[in-house]
Amino acid sequence: MTTPPDVSPTLWGLVRRPSPSGQERAAATWLVQHMQALGFTAAHLDEVGNAIGHMGAGPREIVLLGHIDTVPGEVPVRVTTDDAGRRVLYGRGSVDAKGPLAAFVDAVAAVGPRPGWRLTVIAAVDEERDSVGARHIVSRHRPAFAIIGEPSRWHRVTLGYKGSAWAQVRVRTPLAHTAAQAPSACEQAVALWQHVRDWVAAHNADRAKPFEQLQVTLRGWASGGDGLHEWADLRLGARLPLDWPPERWYAALQAQCAAWDATVTPQGYAIPAYLADRRSPLVRAFLRAIRSQGARPGLVRKSGTADLNIVAPAWQCPAVAYGPGDSALDHTPHEHLPLDEYARAVQVLQAVLTALTAA
């Protein structure tokens, strides 16, 4: 399929190649070849399938970390005109987060080699699941600055994301006849969930800002028995503010479940919240670049979790998230990216990279 004349070949090539988590290989291989064609100094796939491109070979490094995987679901790839008269690209990943990733590639290609610096673009795999790609590269780089590719709109910079933690809560009771008055495991699990939800709501009563609130959701349910006992499992997901590291959350959840004699089992990878320093030279460079495009910049904090939470604490360098696109469209059947917004984001990134590497 020919690239439409008003669409970046990088953006078009990535969006039209499906890459749900666990199936990123074809898109990543194409991106490596594309970066080579754009004049990157080197590009390759690493051991876990991340596509990595380097521009320049200096001792100081800026890492632009995006992710190439998407959630499942097909959004037909097409370019159309919206009600505001803007040209927009529809497709799974156009916003989350192939748009930001493509902008990284195009900006670095436009800037080219910078004396004393290496500009590294990483298209990480598995971000939508367990962040295998980011966890693999975190010990392999020590950048001076890091930019994480997530949609924030072209004129906004994301300073922070909440943490996340998953748990299975199991209620187990002796099996009783259905005519008995004893509550079943399922009934007790429902009561427990209502208690946890009410407890979280009470905790948030004096916290007006979403970034400061605990959030808990019921994401799964299962029940069963062995003839002697019955059980009910709740799968809970939590979004954690800065003052709630995962260990505090798990301890508090266990305490709230004590009256039901329920067990709490952590699942997956728990991630603490992260908030960048708004006074860093990286943030200042973004603010200047956005203003130079005639817009008033915004600094935002989000309730989700991103690879920023994983790499920034380890790298201990100025780090933010940035990218074109409206995050409200993430994972939806209406995912689309205005092409003028994409072009503006590339220009902002060019200005930021040029400024950071000028010294």
Residues recognised as catalytic: 69, 127
Q: For Cα atoms 305, 79, 26, give the angle at the middle one, nearest 5 degrees.
A: 60
Both structure tokens of 134: 């980011």
Distance of CA 72 to the CA centre of its chain: 15
Alpha carbon distance 78, 242 (integer Å): 40
Alpha carbon distance 22, 185 (integer Å): 36
With beta carbons less than 8 A apart as the criterion, state whether 295 and 155 touch.
Answer: yes
Alpha carbon distance 102, 121 (integer Å): 10
Where do runs of H (alpha helix) occur along 231-292? 246-257, 281-292
* Three-class SS state of 147: strand
Dihedral of the CA atoms 280, 285, 287, 292 (nearest 10)?
A: 170
- Gyration radius of the chain over CA positions: 23
> Residue 205: which residues within 8 A CB-CB, separation 6 or more?
none
> How far from 108 is each of 246, 312, 349, CA to CA, in Å?
36, 21, 8
